[in-house]
Chain A
Amino acid sequence: MVTVALDSAGAAAAGEWIRAAQPTHPALIDAHYDLATRYHLVNVPSAVWIDESGRIVRPAEVAFADNRFIAYTKFDMTRYLDAIRDWVDRGEASPHVRPPAARRARLGLPGAAQAQAAACFRLAEHLHAEGHAEAAVPFFKEAQRLEPESWCYKRQAWALTDAERFYSTTFQDEVKALGGRPYYPRPDFPPDSPPDVSKETAEP
């Protein structure tokens, strides 16, 4: 297991969580969303399964360890943990290692707008880190406009400043604006999986 914290404030933001977890695995910090751009990650927690030869066997998908945010996942995440264990035991024979065509279909490839959004976001977080917080806001907003599907671009920007003052919004407002569309796309499980469960919880 390798964890990567997507946090513009780097160790200042992610450090206390990592120290509290006392991880026995590499716990890395991505202060510039380089991983998010390369893997086109639009939300957290997102996980990618990579096999022994460096091949993606499951592209990025929601990856909670338990059901505390089932109101957002609408999916029994304990089944996801079982799937990881099955892959560790059986490798390619696991039904959770999806065929290459199914993996590619789940990639969510970036287009020109998303690539431009990444450049705007990189500029914004640099300006913010250099002490130009207000100058950063229009570029954070442009990244959000170009890629509205990215919760990373929204929530990171809100976390750095006052979301209501600078962005006239809140997390709950934005979730309501989804109008019932899923906050997390459903993980790619075989069609014979049992039905999902749902209940209300706080935000992830």
Chain B
Amino acid sequence: MNATILHGSDAIRVTDASIEGEALWLTPDALARTTGWEWTPEGLCRDATCVPVPPGAPWVRGSGSASRIDLGGLARHLGRPVAASPAHGVWAIGESHEALGDRLRSLDAPEFTLPDLDGRVWSLRDFRGRKVFLLAWASW
């Protein structure tokens, strides 16, 4: 079954998902592809961080490569916000408020990458060494 996972500006499609009620069951491969979380004997790992999977966690079925992970359940376990429209096969996963807040409190300007009208992509880091007056506006 097809599903779309929204994460930041990304919209990632998966073709081998299973939707049951509010749950989106993903294979370990699909989970790694869409979220970066790898299913390992130590638990779920991304970069240098591993999160143990509690025994009997309701968001895990099966074991090994036959495992299925409910994306929403995992996100909530990690303290991340989830909004879903199962009827449309769409799940949005946000950053935790702790992560968002810690980054702002550090006063290191959050990195971003966005396009201009010509499709050229710019990142904040492109302006290092110069002052940046960053102005957000809208047409509405």
Interface residues of A (CB under 8 A from B): 1-7, 11, 13-19, 26-32, 34-41, 44-56, 59-60, 63, 84, 87-88, 91, 100, 103-104, 107, 109-112, 114-116, 118-120, 122-123, 126-127, 130, 132, 135, 139, 142, 152, 155-156, 158-159
Contacts and interface: CB of A to CB of B under 8 A. Distances in A.
Chain B binding surface, main DSSP class: mixed
A111 B97 contact: yes
Contact of A119 (B83, B116, B132, B140): B83
Contacts of A2: 122, 127, 132-135
B55 interface: no
Interface string B111-123: 0101111000010
Contacts of A135: 85, 87-88
B27 interface: no
30 contacts: A2-B122, A2-B134, A5-B137, A6-B136, A7-B140, A11-B117, A14-B138, A30-B9, A32-B8, A34-B8, A44-B137, A45-B136, A50-B109, A50-B131, A50-B132, A52-B130, A54-B108, A55-B107, A56-B107, A87-B131, A100-B107, A107-B105, A109-B104, A111-B97, A112-B97, A115-B94, A115-B97, A120-B92, A123-B84, A126-B90
B100 A115 contact: yes
Contacts, number: 204
A19 B134 CA distance: 19
A37 B92 contact: no
A116 B81 contact: yes
A109 B125 contact: no
Interface of B: 4, 6, 8-9, 11, 80-85, 87-88, 90-97, 100-101, 103-105, 107-110, 112, 114-117, 122, 124-125, 127-140
A57 B119 CA distance: 29
B83 A4 contact: no
Nearest to A32: B9
Contacts of A103: 107
B117 A27 contact: yes
B97 A130 contact: no
B116 to A, nearest CB: 5
A127 B88 contact: yes
A118 B112 CA distance: 16
